[in-house]
Amino acid sequence: MFSPLRIILAVAILLNVAAAFPLIGRDVQWSFTLFQSASCNGTIGDPHAGSGSTGCRADLHSVASAYALNTVAEGCRIEFFDNTMCDQSELSDVAGQITPNETCRIAGSRRRFGSYQVSCE
């Protein structure tokens, strides 16, 4: 059986290969990894990736304290919510294009990420 660390490493390698060869990963418009720790580290991360807009996604393995963006295509934005229903009144964070120094984004002292939705033009 594969350990969670090996799965995460395999995903990271595939994302790097897709970036090096754009025709391979052309369908992935956004990807990020959720973490239980506020420092975006640890052996268990919860990777999410897709193409185009989504509805509300609450299929998280656990409620997260932080996230790291891997890819966000121009025209896409990811909204993270403090609840599991994408309730706009509990919007925690909005992510768009990645900046060069972007590494780990924290939910805040009393908030956690319980759901997300992606919208792409």
- % of the chain residues with pLDDT over 90: 31
Domain that holds residue 23: 4-120
DSSP secondary structure of 9-74: HHHHHHHHHHHHSTTTSTT--EEEEEESSTTS-SS-EEEEEESS----B---SS-BSEEEEEEE-T
Number of structural domains found in the chain: 1
Q: Which tops the pLDDT comparison, 103 or 69?
A: 69
Model pLDDT for residues 31-49, shown as the tens digit of each residue:
999 988 888 876 678 899 9
* Backbone region of residue 40 per phi and psi (left: phi > 0; alpha: psi in -120 to 50; beta: other values): left
pTM above 0.85, yes or no: no
Instruction: Assign residue 43 the CATH number of its domain.
Output: 2.60.20
CA-nearest of 62, 30, 27 to 48 is 30
Q: What are phi and psi of 52, to 5 degrees?
A: 80, -175
DSSP state of 89: G
CA separation (Å) from 28 to 60, 70, 72? 19, 11, 9
pLDDT of amino acid 24: 45
